[in-house]
Amino acid sequence: MKDAATTASPAAPACPAAPASPAALASLAALASPAAYAEAVATAVRAAAAYYADGATPLGDDEYDALVRAIEAYEREHPGEVLPETPTGKVAGGAAVGDVPHSAPMLSLDNVFSAEELESWAAGLERRLGHPVAAWCVEPKLDGLAVAARYRAGRLTRLLTRGDGLAGEDITHAADTVLGLPARLAEPLDVELRGEVLLTHEQFERANAVRTAHGATPFAHPRSGAAGTLRAKDRAYRLELTFFGYDALGLPGLDHGDLLARLAELGVGTAAGTQAAPRRCATLAEVEQRIGEIAGMRAALPFGIDGVVVKADAAADQERAGSGSRAPRWAVARKLRAQHKVTRLLGVEWNVGRTGIIAPRAVLEPVVIDGVTVTYATLHNPADIERRGLMLGDQVFVYRAGDVIPRVEAPLVDERTGAEQPIAFPEACPRCGDAIDTSEQRWRCVRGRGCQTVASVIYAAGRDQLDIEGLGGTRAVQLVEAGLVTDLADLFTLSREQLLTLERMGDTSADKLLAAIETARTRPLNRVFCALGIRGTGRTMSRRIAAHFGSMAAIRAADAEALAAVDGIGVEKAAVILAELAAVGPLLDRLAAQGVGVGVTEPAAAVTAPPTAADQGGSVGPLAGQSVVVTGSMTGALADLSRNAVNELIERAGGKASSSVSKRTTLLVAGEKAGSKRAKAEELGVSITTPEEFAVLVADFLP
């Protein structure tokens, strides 16, 4: 029987807390004196205690890892000065406790931080074994809480936290809230499962919505949510979690890959059903490749990970390698850069968008997240600020995944000093000083688009809308400040004489701009509609609306029911679009008078409604009935097309362009540097094609 190794709990907390500031920690990293070493140990001990209490901690993975490595380095150089409370060499950094003994030690994992360190660790393992490792198993390092679930005759009898590795807390009361942890196994076995309990991203959002509805503070991040939920008793609400098994006591002799398959047979949740599924690798080169793949799909995973676990797959190798007092010698965690950090909320800016939406933006003390320095983060809307209970001066969790705009998750309420101040909401429009419409969650200037004429004109003239060459930001400001343009329709009334009054506007420039404006009159309906900047629509939705109705007159005549029938709109969004259309009615009348968007109908092949059986003969194009997603850089015949142009091409060929991969996706066009979308398509079994192959398929519809 082998010792269990967690896939989510490193040698030390993944995100522990300490009162020390980042600057103080930077000075601690040197540890040039016994005093600096003692302060570092104290900081790490406080950090681990906070982390294993509820996970809501103001120190990120990278800072904590650097601190513990500095402590380890000092202790190697000064073995006679090692303090008894040091976190090194202890499960959970020596912080977690429990009162129910484990049937076998529940260990942590050692960490490596680079390919070179992983190679060195693997070489050391093979020296210990006396032969090359037969095979490796590579799996995601889940960011949750390690637990042990005891079954007797196939029935769950007790659920424990890992605690200090020797004893854990009894959390059996929470077992029925954990998906993937069955009350009864498929067979009547006596077995103890080891695994990770976490909140998926979806469960995290749902949990915070439920908590705030009951007047509770939102969880700071998924791990703290999982820790708090597992320990909570007598709540007035129920929150769902997820279990991923990775080991078991009572199923001896199975190689790791076979053990995971056996757990699945018993009805236990494992990571095998995700795109980051555990994989056997024959060589270390294959291990590194798989680590890169999992790191690349990290942003698309439905749960958080903070690394990748590499294990000797063979049970014989694991038994021969054995374990130390804190970690198995046959497994290691390859840490990834943190995606969430703690920093300070310095202020809130209120920006007015082109449609008059007033959006708050967090001003942060600069912090590096996943290799990017983050200074600003989204706060969504005033209601979101109130829901999260944010205050100026708060230490806050900031999350960034992939290319997603950073967002503020929640404040660390326990870290407040009393100096924090309430966030002041604007009483008038920050840009024009007019009144604010607060009837919806997203506040809006009562002047709507009139508040941001320059932004509206720049947007309308953009490449994917009317594509008016020569009408950039500087020129738009000139036109508006000169009083020549008050809205989009005014562009089509400009004369040569008016343009020549503008600074740095010569004869040639004026003629070119007028020619570009004249060309814009004949843009397809979908581009004209998109140029309006209707809330609830964008490039893709504008194409669908134009294809569905065929003319601007038909769009304007549509009621809520007709709009809701357009794919992707629905009843709620239809009401918003209908109100927007009414608001821009005078503008549409003026555009029609200038011949803009009048009598323009979409090609029949662009209709996005599902084709009938009679249509399948090809009259709606080669992509009839297909949902197509494009990702990566396009090459070949598609290289010069913008993403919007490629999406238009898809819909001209009878397909439906989508921005995300889902079970409805039938085809992925994967260009160079295709990342998480390709990984998800592979997981879902979606057909994948290259830009060159796709160009051949839709050759008759290429511009």
Give residue 253's pLDDT: 92
- In this prediction, the residues of the chain whose per-residue pLDDT falls under 50 are 1-29, 403, 603-619
For residue range 90-137, what is the model confidence (pLDDT) as tens digits?
665 555 566 789 999 998 899 898 899 999 999 999 999 999 999 999
Which residues belong to CATH 2.40.50.140 in the chain?
Answer: 340-425
pLDDT of 623 reads 87
Angle at 674 between CA 698 and CA 304, to 5 degrees: 135
Spatial contact of 108 and 9, defined as CB atoms under 8 Å apart: yes
Look at the domain 606-703 and name its fold. Answer: Rossmann fold (3.40.50)
Query: What are φ and ψ of residue 235, in 5° steps?
Result: -75, 155
Neighbours of 87 (CB within 10 A): 26
Q: What is the pLDDT of residue 250?
A: 95
Question: What pLDDT, on the 0 to 100 scale, is given for residue 342?
Answer: 86
User: Rounded to whole angstroms, how far apart are CA atoms 695 and 689?
Assistant: 10
pTM of structure: 0.59
> Which residues in the chain are classed under CATH 1.10.150.20?
448-520
**What per-residue confidence (pLDDT) applies to 611?**
38
337, 390, 386: which is closest to 364 by C-alpha? 390
Q: Which of 90, 141, 311, 573 is catalytic?
A: 141
| pLDDT of 372 | 73
Considering the four listed CATH numbers 3.40.50.150, 3.30.390.50, 1.10.150.20, 3.65.10.10, the one that applies to the domain covering 448-520 is 1.10.150.20
Pairing between β-strand 372-378 and β-strand 331-335 as defined by DSSP bridges: unpaired
**340-425 topology per CATH:** OB fold (Dihydrolipoamide Acetyltransferase, E2P) (2.40.50)
**Cβ(257)–Cβ(9) below 8 Å:** no
Which pLDDT score, from 0 to 100, does residue 293 have? 92
Which residues in the chain are classed under CATH 3.30.470.30? Answer: 100-335
User: Which pLDDT score, from 0 to 100, does residue 133 have?
Assistant: 95
Residue ranges with strand state E in 199-316: 241-249, 279-281, 305-312
- 3-state DSSP of 501-514: CCCCCCHHHHHHHH
Instruction: Please choose, from the candidates 524, 544, 547, the residue with its C-alpha nearest in 3D space to the C-alpha of residue 536.
Output: 544
What sign results for the dihedral spanned by CA atoms 610, 615, 616, 622? Answer: negative
Asked if the 100-335 domain carries CATH number 3.30.950.10, the reply is no
Q: Are strands 358-369 and 372-378 parallel, antiparallel or unpaired?
A: antiparallel
What is the residue-wise DSSP string for 625-665? T-EEEEESB--GGGTTS-HHHHHHHHHHTT-EEESS--TT-
At 9 the pLDDT is: 34
Q: DSSP labels for 333-399?
A: EEE---SEEEEEEEEEEEEE-TTSBEEEEEEEEEEEETTEEEEEEE---HHHHHHHT--BT-EEEEE
Residue 608: what pLDDT?
A: 39
pLDDT score recorded for residue 536:
75
Residues of each domain in the chain carrying CATH 3.40.50.10190: 606-703
141 labelled catalytic: yes
Question: How many angstroms separate the CA atoms of 695 and 685, rounded?
Answer: 22
Close Cβ partners of 497 (under 8 Å, ≥ 6 residues apart): none
Of 110, 498, 586, the C-alpha closest to 323 is 110
Instruction: Taking each helix axis as running N to C, give the angle between helix 222-231 and helix 201-213, from 0 to 180 degrees, rounded to the nearest 10.
Output: 60
CA 297, CA 305: separation in Å to the nearest integer?
11
200-256 pLDDT tens trace: 989 998 998 898 888 887 887 788 788 889 988 888 899 999 999 999 999 999 999
